[in-house]
Amino acid sequence: MILSISERTDIVGFYMPWFLNRLKEGYVDVRNPFYPKQVSRILLDQEHIDAIVFCTKNPIPLLENLDKIPFPFIVQVTITPYMREIEPNVPSKRKIIETVKKISKMVGKDRVYVRYDPILLSKKYTISYHEKMFERLCQELENDISRVIISFLDIKKNVLKNRKILNLTPFTKENIYEISKKIGSIASSHHLEVSTCGESIDLSEFGIVGKGCMSEEDIHKLVNKPIKFRKNKTRMNCNCVDTTDLGVYNCCSHFCKYCYANYEESQVMKNRRNHNPKSSLLIGELEEGDIIKIKDTKQEV
Query: What's the pLDDT score for residue 198?
Result: 78
Cis amide leading into 81 (omega within 30): no
As a whole number of angstroms, the distance between CA 258 and CA 85 comes to: 11
Amino acid at 200: S
- Residue 235 has a pLDDT of 58
- Give the pLDDT of residue 131: 98
pLDDT single digits (tens) 177-210: 999 999 999 999 999 999 998 788 999 999 999 8
- Beta strands 51-56 and 73-78: pairing type? parallel
The rounded distance, in Å, linking the Cα atoms of 106 and 24 is 23
Residue (of 81, 193, 62, 185) closest to 137 by Cα position: 81
- Distance CA(134)–CA(182), nearest Å, equals 9
pLDDT in tens, 108-167: 999 999 999 999 999 999 999 999 999 999 999 999 999 999 999 999 999 999 999 999
Measured CA to CA, the distance from residue 54 to residue 4 in angstroms comes to 6
Closest CA to 100 of 144, 130, 61: 144
pLDDT score of 97 more than 50: yes
Q: What percent of the chain has pLDDT over 70?
A: 94
- Cβ 158 vs Cβ 259: under 8 Å: yes
Q: Which amino acid would we find at residue 53? A: V
pLDDT bin (cut points 50, 70, 90) of residue 299 is very low
Average pLDDT for the chain:
92
Confidence of residue 33 (pLDDT cuts 50, 70, 90): confident
